[in-house]
Homo-oligomer: A and B are copies of this chain.
């Protein structure tokens, strides 16, 4: 369906062109005049009705695009999108990137998200989730000797945990934060730092997390996951100071 905008007295709208248009569209979007799935009228017409040129109208539409509010489909039209939190990725990428020193800080947020998610997972996980977790766990065992693939498997397991939590918001935040960590040097290095003593830690810890979820024990699940992060951090810390870490994992 095409949403025909009721344009009324545009001249008095404050702002200079872009600001005016953007504000107008935002109002329509937030008020609900424009609903997900609606298709805006053609750019030329809309620009004319709003009293601005097409380039300016497009600036506003593009701005709404990066906000995930609308989607401009080539040779089709501009349609209102269903609020999709995934656009947060772009934002977080900018917000936290380039600040290498905040990686540890971002990690804290990831821990926060996962610890909450694992609780929810223990309550909400379905049989399907169990299977996914099982597979992820198996993958970790399989790739235990491959640094790269192992890192991916590790990440996938954690992602499966969060997914099992069934919280869209947590899933989105986790995805965003993971992206940041992935891009960081430390994040990549982490994937490579797999010495022998780490293998059992990796496998056993993840299995315990899995068991806790299966056992529907949120409290224990979080506890185990939290320890998992603590130990991982310990490993990373040792690696950072140059200690080979060939000794046992006893702190």
* Secondary structure call for the A interface: helix
- Whether, in the assembled complex, A49 has its beta carbon less than 8 Å from a beta carbon of chain B, the answer is no
A87 within 8 A of B: yes
Check: A227 CB closer than 8 A to any chain B CB.
no
The closest CB in chain B to the CB of A81 belongs to B94
Most buried by B among A58, A65, A96, A105: A105
* This chain: copies in complex: 2
* Contact stretch, chosen from A109-117, A185-193, A197-205: A109-117
Q: Categorize the interface residue count of chain A.
A: 35 or more
Q: Are B168 and A105 in contact (CB under 8 A)?
A: yes
A13 on the interface (CB 8 Å rule)?
no
Query: What per-residue 1/0 map shows which CB atoms of A21-41 lie under 8 Å from chain B?
Result: 000001001111001000000
Contacts of A10 in B (CB 8 A): none
A-B contact pairs, 19 of them (CB 8 A): A26-B94, A29-B98, A31-B98, A59-B59, A63-B63, A63-B65, A66-B67, A67-B90, A67-B91, A68-B91, A84-B95, A85-B96, A88-B95, A91-B91, A108-B165, A108-B167, A109-B169, A111-B116, A112-B112
